[in-house]
Amino acid sequence: MSARRVLVLNGPNLGRLGSREPDVYGSTSYTGLVERCVEVGRGLGMAVEVRETNDEGEMIRWLHEAADERLPVVLNPGAFTHYSYGMRDAAAQRTAPLIEVHISNPHGREEFRHTSVVASVASGTIAGFGIGSYLLALHALADELGD
């Protein structure tokens, strides 16, 4: 049996993990995040593909791809979380589970970060556990998919 394909999609500035505000986002590099997601996914029978973009249109295209191919998604929208209705509408078209993740706890930060336009169309949200948020999301997907 082949591994279930899963997309882990990251929005703006997440490619700068490890150097961007380590007191908020931790010291793990983006490469380290990718390696951990792929490794944990493999252990769960998933073929995890991790992507990052600073471009809203590209994120929307990836969400369309996921919907068209019925791919589960772990989504860290970054700053798009708070205002991208286009991304939210693309996420709403999902045909498989979609879990929103955040490295930090948005509710413990600036007030503008308290609103997620994605949360209402996601299967669930995991936040505040550093890169562990992604790993928890992959486990939740495995449970939800029954893999």
pLDDT tens by residue, 53-100: 999 999 999 999 999 999 999 999 988 888 899 999 999 999 999 999
25 a catalytic residue: yes
**Reduced to 3 states, what is the DSSP secondary structure of residue 44?**
coil
Give the CATH number for residue 113: 3.40.50.9100
Distances (CA, A) of 58 to 10, 17, 61: 11, 20, 5
Residue 128 has pLDDT above 60, yes or no: yes
Whether the full predicted model's pTM is greater than 0.85, yes or no, is yes
| Percent of the chain with pLDDT strictly greater than 70 | 86
| Percent of the chain with pLDDT strictly greater than 90 | 69
Mean pLDDT of 115-121: 91
Segments forming the whole domain that contains residue 24: 4-145
Q: Which of 25, 107, 114, 134 is flagged as catalytic?
A: 25
Q: Which residues are annotated as a binding site for substrate?
A: 76, 82, 89, 103-104, 113
Q: Which of 83, 85, 102, 139 is flagged as catalytic?
A: 102
Burial class (CB in 10 A: 0-12, 13-18, 19+), 87: buried
- Count up the domains in the chain and report the number: 1
**In terms of Cα–Cα distance, which of 68, 70, 59, 63 is closest to 10?**
59
Q: Which residues are annotated as a binding site?
A: 76, 82, 89, 103-104, 113
Mean pLDDT of 40-44: 97
**Are 127 and 109 within 8 A, CB to CB?**
no
